[in-house]
Amino acid sequence: MIMQVNFEAWAAIGFVLALACATAAGALLLAHLVRPAKKGPVKDSVYESGMPVVGDARRRFNVRFYIVAMLFLLFDVEVVFLWPWAVVFYRSATENEVVTMPTGDAVGAGFMLVAMGIFFALLLVGFLYEWRKDAFQWD
């Protein structure tokens, strides 16, 4: 069996990618040509969030910074998964649509509600674990 490729669709994707690259390159080139060419000790100094630099950049950070970052990723990314589920669940519950799983099985709103309940239970277990470990305490 010979597989035919739709080159028109790929050409459209290639055109959009080329246009995006050309726009980015054009913006960088225009910014380089238009920028003021003032140099000096103040302009060449390191700027970090409006604060003067103090100490070495390779100093050790408190581990709580990384814990907070991981907690943010854990709970923020999990909430992102909630939006598509809510859309499909709403359609399934209001319009009595049946959702077909990749395995071919059809599931309804009740199954989806139980699955999200399990998902939230796992999130709650992680939240309670972090709370018990005092990850939310700032000293």
Question: Domain extents for the chain?
Answer: 63-132
- Quote the distance between the C-alpha of residue 36 and its chain's center: 35
Bridge partners, residue 50, by sequence: none
Q: Where are the alpha helices (DSSP H) in the chain?
A: 7-34, 41-44, 63-80, 82-94, 109-132
Average pLDDT over residues 71-87: 83
- Residue pLDDT, tens place only, 23-78: 999 999 999 999 887 788 877 777 767 777 777 767 777 777 777 788 888 778 88
Rounded distance between C-alpha atoms, residue 85 and residue 139, angstroms: 38
Q: How confident is the model at residue 21 (pLDDT cuts 50, 70, 90)?
A: very high
Closest CA to 99 of 110, 30, 35, 54: 110
Contact 100, 106 (CB under 8 A): yes
What are the residues whose beta carbons fall under 8 Å from the beta carbon of 108, sequence distance 6 or more? 92, 98, 99
Overall pTM surpassing 0.85 (yes/no): no
Question: What local confidence, expressed as pLDDT, does residue 24 receive?
Answer: 97
